[in-house]
A and B are shown apart, each in its own frame.
Chain A
């Protein structure tokens, strides 16, 4: 980046502001103002039709005693805790395999990545079909091994595991990122380790994982944030309004309940309070992860 601090020219400043003006305008209208307004709305009762009426901290008080908020938080936490680690371990494993595949890498990489292109709505529908308790493909395959598969889409204990398994179908992007990281690890390290008699496990543990820890950490952060905001697949599969409005408590993620409060019940004030709580939770978790990463992540050479 700019190494020398040359004198700032007036013409340059004007031109620069012209170039960045779309973002400045967008930031003010669609980020800063909404951020402030969400804060204000969270202190009001607002249904879009009547003006907001100030209620102080009532929304927040209601929120902590709302059983559904607690349920949604628990569902979301369970889903994130199950899906993020499994997803990362699986994508690491797949990246290792791809790296060994030689000339066939390209073909398998495409195969692993393709599901990531599926629209999340279609993934929600596939979840209902593949994991159907009676006729789903998953249980049929389990049956070959003599396993009597559960009712994934209706039994409350199996709804979240089903969502987690389905989410593994789209690990493709993480695999690509880890594969790129793997290819940046110098071959010399492995050659040296082999000379010293280190086996596959030792090499993976002491070379591969530390050398790719930057990418792994990036995925942990990004996947956690995404998992905490999961919406589309679960909403598609388990919530909606057909001949009768339906829903499934086991799949009630926080983002889904927030959406319902805001746009189905028109409790805009309450939903704003929920949004702020989510914001705080995500910031706190990310902060903890960043702090932990300082201990575990190895940055080669520490270049920017």
Chain B
């Protein structure tokens, strides 16, 4: 970019007013070398601050027990022993299986059920609709703590405490936030499309399944990704519902490893560190697979919420 300040291209470039279209919000790049260098330096320091804890963690997971805390970037003694040991000293494979099982079920069920409900609220006109949708929104405001105890007692009464069922089964009934999000997307679809389909003899189910769902695929992916992350990382519910170590999810297992090998335990931090890497890594992979959807989904949350 040249340092000369010619007004002509600026007017041309500031023309589009659509969100994200070029330089809005005074997004013009800094002019002049000093500003640019300062920006690069500040951004690099910040990037280091955000990324380095990951690097530290991964690096520490390849260090032997005595060197975990040496804060070296490159391990003095490189070892794969921790990754072998963590498999022996904890039922890591079982925890991973449990977590995958819960996460997949939670993600699929909540996406389908929330889409159904969202479509019901978006497309149809019926008596009491606005009141009911108001209840959907209101239910988002209720802190989890208020329903936590009776919910536990329900699962206790039907004999599912100690199993993985309470960690996902509520998702069969949709989730208020996802219903809200998907309804917004359904409302954005042109209504004429469905009037036309109706004239062609499509029934309600076909309109939902064959037209509405395919057109909102990106939104469904966003919901799926959000829930995948939520289900994978949850600690509260596994703490409440799981007793036996064989039923643990990875986050619950990681907490038990911290209790066993961390403070007040046997001081095997290298195992805790390695298990932390194993717990976190799938989320990083998921993020890079769905990065665009994650970013868009979050941006949407803020502007429509």
Contacts and interface: CB of A to CB of B under 8 A. Distances in A.
Asked if A pairs with B, the answer is yes
Interface of A: 1-2, 5-6, 8, 12-13, 15-20, 22-27, 29-31, 33-35, 37-38, 41, 48, 94, 97, 99-102, 104, 108-115, 117-122, 124-126, 128-130, 132, 135, 137, 140, 169, 172-173, 176-188, 190-191, 203, 207-208, 215, 218-219, 222, 225, 228-229, 231-232, 235-236, 240-244, 246, 255, 258-259, 262-263, 268, 271-272, 274-276, 278-279, 282-283, 286
Nearest to A191: B14
B39 A119 contact: no
B96 to A, nearest CB: 13
B277 to A, nearest CB: 8
10 contacts: A17-B120, A29-B154, A34-B151, A100-B29, A111-B47, A117-B229, A119-B280, A121-B276, A187-B27, A275-B148
A271 B142 contact: no
A135 B70 CA distance: 7
B149 A41 contact: yes
Main secondary structure on B side of the interface with A: helix
Contact of B303 (A114, A125, A180): A180
B174 A26 contact: yes
A236 B17 CA distance: 46
Contacts of A178: 302
Contacts, number: 326
A102 B29 contact: yes
Nearest to A110: B291
B220 to A, nearest CB: 16
Nearest to A238: B263
B195 to A, nearest CB: 12
A218 to B, nearest CB: 5
Contacts of B151: 30, 34
Contacts of A191: 10, 14
Q: Count chain A CB atoms within 10 A of each CB in B24, B142, B305 and give the residue with the most.
A: B24
A278 B148 CA distance: 13
Given A15-B204, A180-B303, A275-B143, A120 B233 contact: yes
Interface string B46-88: 1100111110110010000000011100000000000000000
Contacts of B192: none
Contact of A12 (B70, B126, B143, B187): B126
B170 interface: yes
B43 A114 contact: no
A34 B42 CA distance: 49
A122 B126 contact: no
Interface string B127-138: 101001001100
Contacts of B141: 282-283, 286
B174 A22 contact: yes
A17 B126 contact: yes
Nearest to A26: B173
Given A179-B299, A244-B264, A13 B127 contact: yes
Contacts of A13: 124, 126-127
B264 A99 contact: no
Contacts of A258: 145
Contacts of B286: 117
A279 B146 contact: yes
B125 A12 contact: yes
A218 B150 CA distance: 30
Given A126-B276, A236-B255, A8 B126 contact: yes
Contacts of B30: 100
A22 B172 contact: yes
Contact of A272 (B149, B294, B299): B149
Contacts of A244: 264
B102 to A, nearest CB: 13
Contacts of B69: 129, 132, 135
B20 A183 contact: yes
A236 B258 CA distance: 8
Contact of A22 (B23, B43, B116, B125): B116
Q: Which 7 pairs between the two chains have the least Cβ-Cβ distance?
A: A26-B173, A19-B120, A177-B302, A16-B124, A182-B25, A34-B150, A180-B299
Contacts of A38: 146-147, 149-150
